[in-house]
Structure 1
Amino acid sequence: MSGIEPVAAFSLTCNILQVVCIGRETVRGALQVYHDGKIDHTLTENAAVLESLSREIMTLTTPVVISSSAFNYPTRQDKQLFQLAERCQVAVRDLGEEVDFLSGSQNKARSAAMITNAFKKMWRRSRLERLDQELREAEGLLQAGLLTTIYERCKKTNGALLSLRADLQSFIIEYCQRNAQLEGLVKKHITGEIPNSMQDTKAHVPHTPTTDDDSINHHIRQARKDETRRHEDARQDAQRAGLLQSLEYGRMNERRNQIREAHPKTFQWVLSDGSDGTDDQRGQRSDGGSDGNDTQSWDRFCDWLRSTEKVYWINGKPGSGKSTLIKHLLNELQTRKNLELWKTDPVVVSHFFWRPGPVMQHSIKGLLLSLLHQLASKDKAAVNQIIKMDEFRMLNKETETDWSENELAICLGNIMSCYSRPVVFFLDGLDEVLPDDGALRLLEVINRLSNIGDHKMCLGSRPEPIFVRELSSVPQFRLENLNKSDLQRYCEDNITIPPHYKMVMPKGFELPRYQGHCPGHYFTKSNPPSREDLHAWLVISLLEKADGVFLWVRLTVNAVNKALCKEETVEDLARRLDSLPGDMDASFWVWIFHYNKLNK
């Protein structure tokens, strides 16, 4: 036999015919957009179907497929078919670009005016008209006899039509019903010759069941169902994509991404389960205060992750590292493992309020948009369900400005109610909420959300009176009371004494000894400190003034390192440390303002 295998050729022909039909429909839809400026969402569905057909055509025309189908030498019809296949793939690519352009015009970067302008330039219109002409020519070539010729080759092979995919048989029948020109050429073969092919097959296979007709009809019905399902899936994908796009706003993830990663081997105590026996159930953590016996009480975080308690509150001074800690918890595998002991396969979403950022980064509306976007991107079924609840309203949202805060709150409540997985929210910087929204209203929103379904919330804020009043009864800890060992590790790892630094001790100056000496011993000019002694003195001096504030430590360590590089004397270093403001009082912000001056 010469030429491509008949069934493969006929399948390829059917795929090309499908591209022609759907492609011309897409061209008409695109031209209509340029006419009235309104996007038809079926364009994206058609583009997805065309892309799928293009992949099928590529599969059928690859050398591997051809060589495996007893292909010896291409017939004239085969050459025509391959040329049509190549033209169709180019058309699919060009149509995909047009649909991408039109779909992209719905975001803020483009507008209806841009579409109108492009239309006036005529380039895109002429391109669409050219594509339509090429598709018409392809259809004309098929109708001129190529389809019938290939079909006749297929029919001559016993049982070949029965091996043809049922969805392609169904398509040909439906196509003929819509196109009178092909009715006499193909429909009579498809509807009349399949029984003959069945009889031929039965003659060669005596034990073939007598239910072949029912089997073929079943496959055709199933193929139609599959095609309907594929179209429905494509439609729902386009709807979900449109909804997600409407929930996005500029710089949505900026604050989360700009937060520094935790310093190595810090915050390890947060996820400790107390298996070493040092803490009781309430959680006792000793951080060695000034008297060495400063023990702080806290509710162990890993216990909360595993429990049915809904809310946990991480609070602390400004700059104590709350945001860094919460980001650390989000990234830690141990957090997920503990949550798995509460519920199987939980979804973790987060939001970080940021007062210096644009309004959306510290408003309640921005919070709702962010949470809804994250949840919608992780559960297709839940999104489909909330779209069905109010399809008209949901599908008319194009940007975040189309949403009201009340609509977002209702939609978020709906998706949480029907969500298939448990959800854990990490919300940081509650005290940085937009003043016009206010902390009280934010807490009301959080309280409503916490009462929907079986979900959990970890909240982070400064211990301002309103948060203390509303959250005092939930599990919690005060970060600056528990992070001294973390600050110490940071100082030890980051304070660097250059190799060239000279230990110059002026006459009469004394430096306290901290490294392996009893209190009251000092280094002097005649007994200067070693590099290790100086390092220990710097670490302890900074810790005594830090009062649990990570930001203060980080900035101060930078200043000290620069001073060491400039070879300030030990006396000058001591004077510098004495002059540094402690904690985050008002003088600290003055110091920040004059930071460069301090490093000269």
Structure 2
Amino acid sequence: MPINELANESVATAKEILKAINEVKLKGSHGNWKSFLHALQQVWKGRRIEKLAEKLSRLQTQLNTHLMVMMSDKHSEVVDELRRLYDIHKRLETNMPNDLASLRRDVLAAIQRSNKIYTVAIKASRDTSGKVQPMKPISRSDIQHLSAGICELSEKLSNLQRNAQLAAKTYKVLKSLQYKTMKVREINITEAHTATFEWIFAPNADTLESSMNFAEWLEHGSEPFWVMGKAGSGKSTLLKFLANHPRTNQMLAAWAEEKKLVTAKYFFWNAGNDLQKSKEGLLRSLLFEVLRQCPALIHPVCSWMPFYFALGDHADSSWSLEMLLQCFSRLSKQTETSTKFCFFIDGLDEYDGDCFDLIEAIKKLSGCRAIKVCVSSRPWFAFRDAFGKSPQRMIKLEDLTRNDIALYVRHKIERHERYNILHMKDGQSQELVQQIVDKADGVFLWVFLVTKSILHGLTNADRISDLQRRISLLPDTLEKYFRHILDTVEEVYRGQTAKALRYALHAPPTGPIPLIVFSYLDEENPNFALKILQRTVSSADVSLR
């Protein structure tokens, strides 16, 4: 007999016993124990109570045995499915694993409670039937407790079933939104160097106003906040730092008040595939993060879609831009009173399309009272007009990072033994850091490249004056620096360099090209791929290449 039928029949039997007790109370007098037994025998016609007790005993034993095996046996199909869903959602970092584990524990606890109640109630009913020496007559509360225990167990099982179904649907929806290169750009962005960018939360004299503006926006702002900066000034690193910093969530909590807070991020990348530089990729990434953190929103936000109820591994689950926009429209209506969202969107200037379309999409997102957006880009006129009208809602990054640059340079060069020797011999070593900071003009990428050149000079036993000359001879902008790098490539290697750069600029849709693929560009025979034997590339082969 199926578990739900066993549970229903158990409840029905318990209710039948309760009905009998009510009739005894109505028909019986306030006499002694014998009159109670006599009245009970009248209602149940002799041995009826014993048969019901035996039936309830049998049903309860079958029910609990089925459930204990189903919920505890590691070979059970139910346990296997729960484990599969648990593992899937743990990889996706949703909160479903904790929910499923908690519900499973609740069901096992309800089974144990039901067993205890059942033992007391059935023992009392058998005593009442007169088969054994009476200890205590069956009472209404005994049967009520038994019925309540079975109902509780049924409710726990229903909750577990609903949550398992939600977990399965959540996985299918998230899987349809996810794409292979979703996290590639963020992973490849350099982590903020130790103690840099801390001024955004702990301002110094140079950053006080900007820091206060950003803090006020986190706690109270609604319109978009714009991080503006030159190419290479560290905008992506700053947004990654902000999106993952615990202080960000702490300050956003004041804005969210008692509502659930969800943050999500997206990093445009012009060198990536279509989904890494388009509105579709932006909206898919944000929607994935929202639904990953709030699975309960999946049905109200996505159930209108044609493929929703048939969603599966083989379903046609392609997401069009119109569908994504509709989902965000429904999201804004669903979350007015329950959830608030903060989105961090980096690299608007790397969007592959009309920037005015992107600006309109961002303004539409931030137009919802439950959503606020922090964006970053180069200082293009279109972005200035859209996001730069309020000085309190923007920062110019290259004006705020002089101390960070000095900290980074000192940390790098002071670790070199030769620098410490020079520092003791020549007091001008301190001026080296200041020279780099002044010439950098806030461009962190330039500093990174120049610092590598300084370290190379230290290894070559350069004097302080030599190192200063290195800095003065290096171009002062990234464009000029990159031209300098290309110009210094030896003539014999320029053909190979051009081939590698051209290939890198036409990366396939699958994402960044593995380094081992570039190694095959060195093959001199253009038809080598037709002659090479097909086999798995070993780690030794990778090292050699």
Q: Do Structure 1 and Structure 2 share a fold, with TM-score over 0.5? A: yes
Structure 1 residues 449 and 199, CA gap change in structure 2 (3 angstroms): farther
Confirm or deny that 1:449 pairs with 2:362: no
Say whether the 8 Å CA contact 1:161–1:194 is kept in structure 2: no
TM-score under structure 2 length normalisation: 0.64
Given the alignment, which residue of 472, 480, 504 partners 1:587? 480
- Aligned counterpart for 1:326 among listed residues 235, 239, 242: 239
- What residue in structure 2 maps to residue 184 of structure 1? none
Give, as a single letter, the amino acid of the residue that structure 1 aligns with 2:381: P
SS in 1 for 2:376: strand
User: 1:377-402 CA distances to partner (integer Å, 9 max, x unpaired)?
Assistant: 11122223334555853643658961
Alignment counterpart, residue 243 of structure 1, candidates 147, 170, 173: 173
- The aligned residue for residue 118 of structure 2 is 163
Judging changes above 3 Å, is the alpha-carbon distance between structure 1 residues 165 and 229 closer, same or farther for their aligned structure 2 residues?
Answer: farther
2: CA distance between counterparts of 1:200 and 1:381? 54
Amino acid at match of 2:482: W
1:393 aligns with 2:393: no
On the 8 A contact 1:317/1:462 being kept in 2, the answer is: yes
Partner of residue 353, structure 1:
268
Give the one of 397, 407, 410 matched to 2:326.
410
Amino acid at match of 1:266: T
Q: Which amino acid aligns with 2:296?
A: A
Which deviates more, 551-560 or 342-351? 342-351
Instruction: Provide the residue aligned with 1:490 in structure 2.
Output: 408
Residues of 1 paired with 2:208 and 2:431: CA distance?
A: 28
Equivalence map 1:69-468=2 (5 Å):
89=75, 92=77, 163=118, 199=129, 204-206=134-136, 208-210=138-140, 212-213=142-143, 216-272=146-202, 300-344=213-257, 345-390=260-305, 393=308, 395-396=310-311, 398=313, 402-419=318-335, 420-435=338-353, 438-468=354-384
Aligned pair partner of 2:452 in 554, 558, 561: 558
TM-score of the aligned structures, taking structure 1 as reference length: 0.58
Amino acid at match of 1:312: F
Contact 1:272 1:302 in 2 (8 A): no
- Percent identical pairs in the alignment equals 26
Letter in 2 for 1:588: Y
> Residues 472-525 of structure 1: CA distance to partner in whole angstroms, max 9, x if unpaired?
22410110111111111111111248545799xxxxxxxxxxxxxxxxxxxxxx
Q: Is the 8 A contact 2:228 2:376 kept in 1?
A: yes
Flag the 1:396–1:56 CA change in 2: closer, same or farther, 3 A.
Answer: closer
Question: What is the rounded CA distance, in whole Å, between the counterparts of 1:240 and 1:165 in structure 2?
Answer: 42
- Quick check: 1:316–1:463 contact (8 Å CA) kept in 2? yes
Q: In the aligned structure 2, how far is the partner of 1:228 from the partner of 1:200?
A: 38
- Larger displacement relative to structure 2 (227-236 or 315-324): 227-236
CA pair 387-563 structure 1, distance change in 2 beyond 3 A:
same
CA shift digits 1:107-127 (9 cap, x unpaired): xxxxxxxxxxxxxxxxxxxxx
**1:305-352 deviation digits (Å, cap 9, x = unpaired):** 111333210010000001111111123222222222222352221111
Listed as ranges, the gaps of 5+ residues in structure 1 are 1-6, 19-51, 59-88, 104-158, 167-189, 286-296, 504-527
- RMSD between aligned alpha carbons? 4.0
Matched, 1:56 2:11: no
| 2:543 aligned partner | none
Distance in 2 of aligned mates of 1:358 and 1:228:
44
CA–CA distance in 1 between the matches of 2:137 and 2:239? 70
User: Which deviations, in whole Å up to 9, do the C-alpha atoms of 1:202-228 show, x marking residues without a partner?
Assistant: 974536433655554454444444433
Cα distance 1:160–1:335, how it changes in 2: closer, same or farther (>3 A)? Answer: closer
Which ranges of structure 2 fall in alignment gaps of 5 or more residues?
1-55, 89-113, 491-545
Aligned: 1:472 with 2:385: no
Determine the C-alpha separation between the residues in 2 that align with 1:343 and 1:322: 26
Deviates more, 1:404-413 or 1:543-552: 404-413
CA distance in 1, matches of 2:280, 2:487: 37
Instruction: State the distance in 2 between where 1:439 and 1:249 align.
Output: 23
Shift in alpha-carbon separation, 1:358–1:12, aligned structure 2, 3 A: farther
Paired letter, 1:340: A
CA apart distance, 1:589: 1.7
Please state how far the C-alpha of 1:547 moved relative to its aligned partner. Answer: 0.9
1:11-30 paired onto structure 2 within 5 Å: 14=63
Deviation of the 1:257 alpha carbon? 1.5
* Pair 1:202–1:268, CA change in 2 (3 A): farther
Does the Cα contact within 8 Å between 1:162 and 1:194 map onto a contact in 2?
Answer: no
Cα–Cα, structure 1 residues 579 and 201, in superposed 2: closer, same or farther, change >3 Å? Answer: farther
* Cross-structure match for 1:72: none
* Compared CA separation, residues 582 and 201, structure 1 to 2 (3 A): farther
> 1:165, 1:233 → 2: CA distance?
32
Distance 1:529 1:308 in 2: 48
Query: In 1, Cα distance between the equivalents of 2:141 and 2:351?
Result: 70
1:11 shift after superposition: 7.1
**What is the CA–CA distance in structure 1 between the aligned matches of 2:389 and 2:266, rounded to whole Å?**
23
